[in-house]
Amino acid sequence: MKAKKSSKITLSVIMAVQGCYYLVTGFWPIIHLRSFMWATGDKTDIWLVKMVGLLSGAIGATLLLSKKSGKRTGTALGIFSALAFAVIDIYYAASEVISPVYLYDAALQLIFVAFYLLRQNAR
């Protein structure tokens, strides 16, 4: 008799989804700045957009590399980076400094945090 597969979302899946999301959204302004600004609004400091993009991509790559081991450092990076993005998104969207479209990103970031915390509590 086969054991029933668990439908629980694993830590590896959370890291993979978040890592891919960070890679795609991080490298988007590097690859095609015009479409990125069309979707998110005009920017004045292009160097900063590219720096944040590269950092996001680096975090995404690290999460993808950490997903197999599921080490606590990968989990911590996932949680703290998601919280950092969410806080900035919410604060500056509420202050009308950046486009409200960033609130969608904030929601997704908080979902990542929730999945990590739920996964930790399931242990």
Q: What residue segments make up the domains of the chain, in order of their start?
A: 11-122
Q: What percent of the chain has pLDDT over 90?
A: 76
**Choice between 86 and 7, residue whose per-residue pLDDT is larger:** 86
**Res 56: pLDDT:** 97
CA distance linking residue 23 with residue 3, whole number of Å: 35
Name 19's Cβ contacts closer than 8 Å, sequence gap at least 6.
59, 60, 61, 62, 63, 64, 67
CA distance linking residue 17 with residue 15, whole number of Å: 6
Q: What pLDDT, in 10s, does the model give residues 35-63?
A: 999 999 999 999 999 999 999 999 999 99
**Res 7: pLDDT:** 59
The reported pTM is 0.80
Are residues 89 and 2 in contact, defined by beta-carbon separation less than 8 angstroms?
no
